[in-house]
Each structure stands twice: as structure tokens, then as C-alpha cells.
Structure 1
Amino acid sequence: MKPRVEIIALGGTIACTPDAGAGGVAPGLTGADLVAAVPQLDALAQIHAGNLSNLPSTEIGLPLLFDLAAAIRAHENGGTTGIVVTQGTDTIEETAFVLNLLHRGSVPVVVTGAMRNPSLPGADGPANLLAAVACAADPGCRNLGVIVAFDDVIHQAAWVQKRDTSSTGAFWSPAPLGWMAEGRPILYARPPRSPGFDVPPDAPLPFVPILKPGLSDPPLLVQACLDEGATGLVLDLAGGGHVQSPWLDPLSAAAKRIPVVFSSRTRGGRVLSRTYGQAGGEIDLLNRGLKGSGDLDALKARLVLMLSLMTGGPDRFDDFTDLSWRAEDPEIPFPRRSR
């Protein structure tokens, strides 16, 4: 019997149609429309498709993602083999990351979309959807949590980033989990599952802004954020996590009131913790009570801090900053490749 794959459509470029009134394209196609455009899906699985929304991805928020996570749990409990989520690409790196923190089941959850809308030559949505369904239906993709399948590359949700505004190869991660070959997912790594969050349904959304200081940028927004009720603050800093000295006193004062996290605006490498000791260096910031984001960029650090605050407090934040692989057996230096 064929595996059962549920496609949950949220909108985005993959679902866009020309909108004469707006002078461009806007989400309009349903999940069923997306499936109808790819007849090859029928050979892979029993497909059911539905819409949870039909929005540009910038309109997706945490409440919708909580509803999506609940829908995924219900489908898994009902015997679904795998889940595919289609959405706009602008926020895939955030939504996939949040879903990975909420999804504790074993079924594959595969997020995909398109960079070229269906009205353009070479639209990539059908190929991405076919690859995503192949991953969702493949037993080898179980227990991976949430993955992103895009442009025939398979990325771990914890690491994936969008690095281009229009290229079909916009999505990047430092070490992809695998690739598509002849219509099948080929995995080269099996990362450990991350810890997760169980968010109470009545938890209010905290206000956690991101500040990105540039040259000669005064720290006026730090106090402004506090005055507006920020319950946490994320800084997108230069290099390994460094800020100019005028920011130090405001940040020290803020860290006594709310959790303040610093990340690197390079979006590559780990935030440093023991290299630079000058004023405004990462050692100085840690000594002032700020928290480093480890492997997380600012977008993902903000989401972890928000979910931590929604589930009781910021103490769990440090549990999510190390995304590196750890061998349980010290005699095995690298993870075994899947076959």
C-alpha cells in the first residue's frame, strides 16, 4: 500500500497567481491546485491536500504555527506517513525552525515552496513539491524532525537560511542532510533531535525585538524597547559578538531587567565566548550578564527566547544554542552515513 502524505498549504509564491489589480502576483492557488499540477505525485503516495491559510509568508505568525503543529500531531495520530508544508520562502527559515521545536513525533515534516511563481518560465514549485513528497514518504526521513527540501537539497531546520532574494538555490546550510537523486532522498547524516517546547495554549506572545547596531549608531533603541514593554532583547552584533562602547551601559542596565542575547550578524560560525576581552567584546558582554546565542543567528535566537518565555522563563534558552553533533560513543568520531 502506498504511504499517506498530507500536504498542508499556507500560501506563498508557490501558490501565487497574477493579480491585475495589484500589478503583480499574490497567493491564490489551493493545496489541491498544487497537487493537480504535479501528476507524478500519484506514483509516490496517497495524497491529500488542504489549506490552513493562503497568505504571503510574512503574515505567518506564531499562533498560526501553533495551529499547524496541532494539525501535524492530529495527522500523525491518524496514521499519516508524512507531512509536507508549502509556504512562501521569505520566512521558511523561521517557520521550519519553530516547527522543529514543536514537532515531537516521528513522521517526517518537510517544508518547501518556490522562488519562481507558477506564471513564470521555469517555475520551481512543482519540482520542489515532488521532492518534498518523496522525502515525506521515505522511511529514511523518519525521526529527523522538520526538514526543508528545496532545489534538490535537503536541509535541517535548525541550520537552514535563505541567502538570496530570487535565486532558485536561495536556501543554504553549512552541512546539508542530503540531496535528491533520481527522485529519491539520499541522506548523508542523521542529526540528533533537538529538545522541544510544549507551549500552553493561553501563553501570551512576548515582545522580543532584534537590534542591529551599525557604525556610529547610538543606543537609543535599547531604552525605547524597555519603555514599550520588551520582555527580552536580541542583538545582531558585528563579528563574533561585539558592540561599540556607548552601548555597554544601556545593555548592562537592560540585562538586569530582562534577558539580553547577542548573536553575530555574519550569520556564519558560532558566537565567540572566550577570545576578545576588550570593552564590547564577547567576554565583556558575558560578564555584564548578556547571553551568547551560540550557533543560533538572531532570527532563531529570538524565537527560542520567545518560546522559552512562553513556557516559564528564559532559563531553557541555553539548552538550544549548541547545534553541533555530539558522539555518544567517544570512539566514534563522526556520525555514520545512512545507506
Structure 2
Amino acid sequence: MVESKNPPEIALLGVGGTIAMVRSEHSGVMPALDATALLDAVPGLDSVVRPRPINLKNVPSPHLGLEDLPDIAAGITAAFADGCVGVVVSQGTDTIDEIAFGLHLLHAWPAPVVVTGALRHPSQAGADGPANILDAMRVAAHPAAKDRGVMVVLNATIHAADRVIKRHVSRPDAFFSPRGALGEIIEDAVYFEALADRRGAGAAAGCQQPAPVALLPAALGDDGRLIDHLQGAGYRGLVLDGMGGGHLHPTMADRLEQLGPDFPVIIASRTGSGRTLRQTYGYPGAEIDLAARGVIRAGSLTGLKARIALSLLIGNGAERTAVRGFFEQFGGG
């Protein structure tokens, strides 16, 4: 691949995570490296892009919250306004799938936004952070990356924000898209194999205060007694990680009746792939019964992503009809 003599300017928005961690004096690794240090560790980067370091946060990804999503989105928008033609966000991998999808919902940026991180910290053999940053920068600079929504790049693979899931704790190939990746990076070249998918992009644009939404798993024999306390605790919606195609124990399903029509409930599948069923099973707690109770199907979205979506939609003032319409885009509703 021949590099450009005038490479595009791409921002690296540093948020923290394993990619930015070094071993502390008294315990394990902790966030320490800023965006400049991350860029300095990538060989040959200056021949690919003109990198611009921007330090937003430096925290472990489990410390991020829903309230951080508007801040990160604002940082991305500011980088574009300041002349960057693409933005790479570097963060911890524990919440990459949630943060990337939240950013996708908050803004329909036409220019590329890519989220990346690392599974191995910089002091480990085979640390993957520099390679992931370089790949993410290549994708953000590629002309075909425009109008694709927020993407996630790790292990030389390009994922769509609504598809990607983390399926392993620590391996560099931890991230996977059950419905197929968007593309890959081979021999320093970017290849897009799938068409752009902008479903949901900007659906919650303008949301500054995400609403509290509970996420509860459906487990063997669980009667759902926690549901009785959700409204009293201040939650404004519920996502259930259902069994199989989106199924619950009948006692858990019965408890949903008390929540009322102004408290949206979404049913996802805890399997992590496929879509919630629509009209196969008719027993109490199955999809036909839940639909009759007003429960909305998440379609292909996982419970984690359905929660992000419902939180941002409610926080943006969406009513039940709009919430249902959103999930219909992903085969649910």
C-alpha cells in the first residue's frame, strides 16, 4: 500500500482502559498513559495519518457510566469541528460494545468514528494496543469508512457498533460479530466486506441525561421478585435478558403487569446472537404471551445494547411508540 504524502488528520480521543495502563508500585496495572504516549508507541503512524492526541479521561472502562456518553460524543464533535476528518476513541474493552453503540445512537456523524482498545497492557509480551490503534487510524482515514456509523476495530477486524460483542476475557480475538464483521485489515490495507448499516444512528441525538434503566437476567427458577422494587428505586424502564428466543418463567412474566404502560419493558435473548422470536411459542412467559402484555422485543440487540438504547431514548423524551419503532429496525418491536 502506498501511503499518502499528505495524510489526513485523525484525532485519538483517550479515555483510558488497559491500552493506557502500566504496572503500579503497589498493585496491578492502572491507567497512566495519555493519548500522546499511546500515539508515540505506534511505529510508522505518521506516514499513515497526522495524529492529533486529545485527552478526555483516563479511567478503567468499568468506571465509565451512561453520563459519560454525552461527554465523549461532545469530544468527538469538537474534534471534527476543529478540522479532523476522523476520530479514534481508545478505551477499556470491558465496555467497548456498550460505549460504541451509545455513541452510535447519540449522533449520526457522517465522518468515521472508530472505537478501539487492547486486551494486553503495554508491559505484556505481545501487547496489542499499538497495532489496534494503527488499524483503527487506517480505518478512520479510509474514504469508504464514511457514513457507516460508529465502528469498533480490534485484532485487524472491523465491527459495527450494533453487532459486536466481547466473547472472551483476555484474548486478542475477544471481539466477535455474530451477524458478520464489516471488514478487516490485511497487509496494511482496509477491506470493507459488508455494506454500510446506519440503523439507529442518531436515534437519541440531543440526549444529555440518560434515564436509569434496569437490566435483569432470566435465570432458572427466578421468580423476578426484584421487579417489584424497580419503580420505587427510581428506574424508568426495564430490559430482561430472556431465555432462548426471549422467554421468562411465568411468575416473572406475571410481575410485569404491575409496572404499567408508562414503564417500558424490553425482552432480549441472553444467547447473544440471533433475534428474539415473534410468533412461535404460546405458553405463559413466551413471546406471544409477552407481546400481549405489552413487552417490546429487542430483536438482534443484546440485553446490554437494548439497555443503552432504552436509557438514551427515554432520556431523550421518546414515548412507547417511538421506542417500539426503534427496536423494529433491529427485527424486534
CA contact (8 A) 2:223 2:249 kept: no
Cα distance in 2 for residues equivalent to 1:43 and 1:217: 56
Percent identity of paired positions between Structure 1 and Structure 2: 41
Give the letter for the 1:183 counterpart: D
TM-score (norm 1): 0.91
Task: Report the Cα offset of residue 167 of structure 1.
Answer: 0.9
RMSD: 1.5
Match of 1:320 among 299, 309, 326: 326
Per the alignment, residue 334 of structure 1 pairs with none
CA contact (8 A) 2:147 2:196 kept: no
Q: Is 1:157 the equivalent of 2:161? A: yes
Match of 1:217 among 183, 201, 222: 222
Cα distance in 2 for residues equivalent to 1:103 and 1:245: 39
Specify the SS of the correspondent of 1:70: helix
Specify the SS of the correspondent of 1:9: strand
Specify the SS of the correspondent of 1:190: coil
Task: Report the Cα offset of residue 79 of structure 1.
Answer: 2.2
Task: Report the Cα offset of residue 323 of structure 1.
Answer: 5.3
Per the alignment, residue 337 of structure 1 pairs with none
Cα gap change, 1:256 to 1:317, in 2 (>3 Å): closer
CA contact (8 A) 2:207 2:312 kept: no
Per the alignment, residue 290 of structure 1 pairs with 295
Match of 1:276 among 281, 285, 306: 281
CA contact (8 A) 1:65 1:98 kept: yes
TM-score (norm 2): 0.93
Per the alignment, residue 20 of structure 1 pairs with 25
Match of 1:67 among 61, 66, 71: 71
Per the alignment, residue 330 of structure 1 pairs with none
Cα gap change, 1:255 to 1:292, in 2 (>3 Å): farther
Structure 1, unaligned runs of 5 or more: 326-339
Cα distance in 1 for residues equivalent to 2:72 and 2:86: 14
Per the alignment, residue 175 of structure 2 pairs with 171
Cα distance in 1 for residues equivalent to 2:300 and 2:327: 6
Specify the SS of the correspondent of 1:209: strand
Q: Is 1:253 the equivalent of 2:255? A: no
Specify the SS of the correspondent of 1:132: helix
CA contact (8 A) 1:305 1:314 kept: no
Give the letter for the 2:312 counterpart: L
Give the letter for the 2:290 counterpart: L
Match of 1:148 among 152, 157, 172: 152
Task: Report the Cα offset of residue 68 of structure 1.
Answer: 1.4
Give the letter for the 1:198 counterpart: A
Task: Report the Cα offset of residue 199 of structure 1.
Answer: 2.4
Task: Report the Cα offset of residue 246 of structure 1.
Answer: 1.3
Moved over 4 A (4+): 322-325
Specify the SS of the correspondent of 2:119: coil
> Which whole-Å deviations, capped at 9, do the CAs of 1:262-290 have from their partners, x for residues lacking one?
11111110001111001111100000111
> Which whole-Å deviations, capped at 9, do the CAs of 1:185-238 have from their partners, x for residues lacking one?
10011223223222244x4x4221111121122221001112212210111110
Specify the SS of the correspondent of 2:213: coil
Give the letter for the 1:280 counterpart: G
Cα distance in 2 for residues equivalent to 1:317 and 1:191: 23
Specify the SS of the correspondent of 1:320: helix
> Which whole-Å deviations, capped at 9, do the CAs of 1:87-127 have from their partners, x for residues lacking one?
00000000000111123221111110000000000001111
Per the alignment, residue 89 of structure 1 pairs with 93
Larger deviation: 248-257 or 209-218? 248-257
Give the letter for the 1:156 counterpart: A
Per the alignment, residue 333 of structure 1 pairs with none
Give the letter for the 1:287 counterpart: A
Specify the SS of the correspondent of 2:94: coil
Cα distance in 1 for residues equivalent to 2:197 and 2:93: 25
Match of 1:198 among 205, 209, 213: 205
Match of 2:11 among 6, 10, 22: 6
Per the alignment, residue 3 of structure 2 pairs with none
Q: Is 1:45 the equivalent of 2:49? A: yes
CA contact (8 A) 1:210 1:236 kept: yes
Specify the SS of the correspondent of 1:67: helix
Task: Report the Cα offset of residue 9 of structure 1.
Answer: 0.5
Specify the SS of the correspondent of 1:321: helix
Cα gap change, 1:323 to 1:290, in 2 (>3 Å): closer
Cα distance in 2 for residues equivalent to 1:157 and 1:324: 13
Structure 2, unaligned runs of 5 or more: 1-5
CA contact (8 A) 2:107 2:205 kept: no
Specify the SS of the correspondent of 1:226: coil
Specify the SS of the correspondent of 2:230: helix
Per the alignment, residue 108 of structure 1 pairs with 112
